[in-house]
């Protein structure tokens, strides 16, 4: 074929001449010029006429069209060239008629070849044809993140389009995920883990391209840390939240069994944050664990009786975690949780300290005791500020908001005290039996009682706003929650094994859930989910909005003592039979062959 050389002018023109469909006033229409693929003649002519010294031409790139062109003789190629030239000069109607006649002469294999040739030319990226604003608007209607992930694989243009921050920010709002600013404030550990992950990737890439000194690497890493701290995209944030949510629902997180020496002791109190897990026990000890690894850090000893109440807080003034504990020895102890050092030992109560709370600044603590008093302490200086009297029986529960503390007592009354002055602002009468649970959010006070009822109080006027009935036993657990773009809700758990979800604007029961076969021993709720544990030894995860069961959270145990969760992890403390001993036939020995099991569930996929 190298001997075939075509005369100039025989190659079909790159663009067709004006025809009746596109010729107006002697000028061609402004329609974009269509770019045609090379014909057989183009390839053959190029192959034979290009100079050997041309570096940009490579015969290795010839396609199937080359073999077709090489199978034809010179006379037929010239004929095809003439037909192509005439076809370019046809009108639109003439072209359609010509193609119809040609296709009618084709058998099935040829028609299949024509289809394969035409199909790629008919594919149009509609998002690429639209203005960028309209393309982003179209994408904003995709709610399913899996669909977005699939769309990002369609083409490089779609992938770049789906990196737009506004798209992912809108998706965060649709899924009711917390804004990034508050997310970082409450989940600084994830931000730190995410930064480390990004830095590791960057360092691995640099090792292939850079040969620097250790000092220069340190400066580069420090600069990267600062940049990562300043910006984390909505896309990364969304996928972290979404994957964490899926791990909660599907139970695909990591489960760590924390080794402990608690044995048969009762775990009376529990708190967890992004660094520490603290438990108070009736064996006089306070156990401290790492909430990321589950490793035991230390045991705080000093109490001479069971520890029945504790709380710790990260003090804003110096970022130190301060722990306050109280129990049967009537002493309130203040600890440095970071070091385990005992700071203050505060005496004053004449009976068991049953409940306590720390203010937001970490400077004052409020304790309630079986001696019927409420004491307000200055935990910075280790002195008592106020002794609040008025209750006629044990102070069983309390909740704090700003400078006010609401207390519930076995005398069937609730009180509201001012922390600054120690003054009792209101006393709430109405229950007919002991108050076991209380919740206070600054707008309303809610109390649960042994008389099976729940009462909602006005903290400003002191009146009873509503009495909620439906439980058939002691209401021992109350949680206030406000889902995103929804009315405030109350979750109650009782000894009848039921959970109830109440709408506080209408005071009606939204959902009634038969959760456990016996008493609800512990529960916690946030804006999306409820985690409940029962004396039947089961822990269950529920959807807050629908009241439906999501899944059984853990394997059954003998009983569930305590539980707590954050956005990315949960801890369950239960009692199970010992696995290293043979279960005795005599049931009276069962209590001697049990152990405390601490399960740490981690759903943060980035850790």
Report which listed range, 15-24, 34-43, 398-407, is most confident: 398-407
Q: How far apart are CA 285 and CA 334, in angstroms?
A: 14
pLDDT for 413 equals 97
Which range is least confidently modeled, 39-53, 82-96, 314-328, 392-406? 39-53
Which range is least confidently modeled, 63-77, 85-99, 244-258? 63-77
Report which listed range, 195-209, 462-476, 584-598, is most confident: 462-476
**For residue 220, is pLDDT > 60?**
no
What residues contact 491, with CB distance under 8 A and at least 6 apart?
478, 479, 480, 481, 499, 500, 501, 502, 523, 525, 530, 544
Encoding tokens for residue 353? Answer: 């300290």
More confident residue, 201 or 232: 232
- Under the banding of pLDDT at 50, 70 and 90, the label for residue 66 is low
pLDDT for 305 equals 95
- Under the banding of pLDDT at 50, 70 and 90, the label for residue 510 is very high
pLDDT for 591 equals 55
**For residue 51, is pLDDT > 60?**
no
pLDDT for 257 equals 95
More confident residue, 89 or 25: 89
Which range is least confidently modeled, 118-122, 449-453, 482-486? 482-486
Determine the length of the chain: 607
pLDDT for 63 equals 47
Which range is least confidently modeled, 260-264, 405-409, 497-501, 508-512? 260-264
pLDDT for 57 equals 41
More confident residue, 116 or 516: 516
Question: What tens digit of pLDDT does each residue of 554-572 get?
Answer: 999 999 999 999 999 999 9
Percent of the chain with pLDDT over 90: 54
Question: What tens digit of pLDDT does each residue of 156-169 get?
Answer: 888 888 888 888 88
What strand order describes the sheet that includes 569-577?
Answer: 254-258, 594-602, 569-577, 559-565
Percent of the chain with pLDDT over 70: 76
pLDDT for 605 equals 65
pLDDT for 198 equals 53
Q: How far apart are CA 340 and CA 297, in angstroms?
A: 9
Mean pLDDT of the chain: 81
Average pLDDT over residues 288-315: 96
Average pLDDT over residues 7-30: 40
Q: How far apart are CA 103 and CA 567, in angstroms?
A: 64
Average pLDDT over residues 426-439: 96
Assessment of whether the complete model's pTM goes beyond 0.85:
no
pLDDT for 62 equals 42
478-509 b/e (C-beta count within 10 Å ≥ 16 → b) = bbbbeeeeeeebbbbbbbbbbbbbbebeeeeb
pLDDT for 143 equals 79
- Under the banding of pLDDT at 50, 70 and 90, the label for residue 448 is very high
Q: What are the phi and psi torsion angles at 21 (to 5°)?
A: -80, -20
Q: How far apart are CA 547 and CA 544, in angstroms?
A: 5
- Under the banding of pLDDT at 50, 70 and 90, the label for residue 67 is low
More confident residue, 20 or 498: 498
Q: 599: closest CA among 517, 509, 537?
A: 537
pLDDT for 183 equals 46
**For residue 131, is pLDDT > 70?**
yes
pLDDT for 363 equals 93
């Amino acid at each position: 074929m190298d001997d075939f050389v075509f005369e100039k002018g025989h190659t079909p023109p790159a663009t067709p001449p004006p025809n009746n469909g596109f010729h107006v006033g002697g000028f061609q229409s402004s329609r974009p010029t269509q770019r045609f693929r090379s014909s057989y003649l183009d390839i053959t002519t190029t192959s034979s006429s290009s100079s050997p010294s041309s570096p940009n031409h490579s015969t290795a790139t010839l396609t199937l069209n080359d073999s077709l062109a090489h199978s034809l003789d010179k006379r037929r190629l010239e004929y095809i060239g003439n037909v192509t030239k005439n076809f370019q000069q046809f009108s639109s109607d003439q072209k359609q008629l010509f193609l119809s006649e040609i296709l009618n002469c084709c058998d099935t294999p040829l028609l299949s070849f024509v289809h394969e040739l035409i199909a790629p030319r008919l594919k149009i990226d509609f998002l690429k044809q639209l203005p960028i604003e309209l393309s982003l608007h179209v994408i904003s209607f995709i709610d399913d993140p899996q669909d977005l992930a699939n769309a990002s694989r369609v083409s490089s243009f779609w992938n770049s389009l789906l990196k737009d921050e506004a798209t992912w920010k809108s998706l965060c709002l649709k899924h009711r995920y917390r804004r990034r600013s508050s997310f970082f404030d409450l989940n600084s550990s994830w931000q730190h883990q995410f930064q480390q992950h990004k830095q590791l990737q960057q360092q691995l890439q640099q090792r292939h391209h850079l040969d620097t000194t250790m000092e220069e690497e340190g400066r580069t890493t420090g600069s990267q840390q600062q940049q990562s701290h300043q910006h984390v995209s909505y896309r990364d944030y969304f996928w972290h939240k979404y994957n964490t949510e899926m791990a909660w629902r599907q139970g695909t997180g990591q489960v760590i069994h924390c080794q402990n020496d608690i044995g048969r002791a009762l775990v009376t109190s529990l708190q967890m944050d992004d660094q520490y897990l603290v438990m108070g026990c009736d064996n006089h000890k306070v156990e401290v664990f790492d909430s990321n690894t589950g490793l035991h850090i230390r045991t705080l000893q000093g109490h001479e009786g069971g520890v029945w109440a504790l709380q710790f807080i990260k003090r804003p003034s110096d970022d130190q975690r301060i722990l306050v504990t109280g129990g049967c020895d009537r002493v309130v102890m203040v600890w440095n949780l970071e070091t385990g050092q005992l700071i203050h030992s505060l005496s004053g109560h004449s009976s068991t300290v049953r409940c306590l709370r720390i203010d937001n600044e970490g400077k004052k603590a409020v304790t309630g005791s079986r001696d019927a008093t409420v004491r307000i302490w200055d935990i910075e200086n280790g002195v008592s500020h106020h002794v609040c009297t008025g209750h006629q029986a044990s102070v069983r529960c309390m909740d704090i908001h700003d400078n006010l503390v609401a207390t519930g007592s076995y005398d069937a009354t609730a009180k509201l005290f001012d922390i600054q002055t120690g003054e009792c602002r209101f006393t709430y009468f109405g229950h007919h039996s002991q108050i076991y649970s209380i919740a206070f959010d600054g707008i309303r006070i809610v109390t649960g009682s042994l008389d099976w009822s729940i009462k909602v109080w006005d903290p400003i006027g002191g009146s009873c706003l509503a009495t909620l009935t439906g439980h058939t036993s002691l209401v021992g657990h109350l949680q206030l929650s406000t889902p995103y773009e929804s009315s405030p809700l109350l979750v109650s758990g009782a000894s009848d094994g039921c959970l109830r979800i109440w709408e506080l604007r209408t005071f009606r029961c939204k959902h009634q859930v038969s959760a456990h076969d016996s008493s609800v021993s512990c529960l916690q709720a946030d804006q999306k989910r409820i985690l409940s544990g029962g004396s039947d030894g089961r822990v269950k995860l529920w959807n807050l909005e629908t009241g439906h069961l999501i899944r059984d959270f853990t394997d059954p145990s003998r009983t569930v003592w305590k539980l707590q969760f954050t956005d990315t992890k949960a801890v369950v403390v239960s009692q199970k039979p010992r696995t290293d001993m043979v279960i005795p036939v005599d049931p009276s020995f069962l209590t001697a062959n049990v152990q405390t099991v601490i399960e740490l569930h981690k759903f943060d996929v980035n850790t």
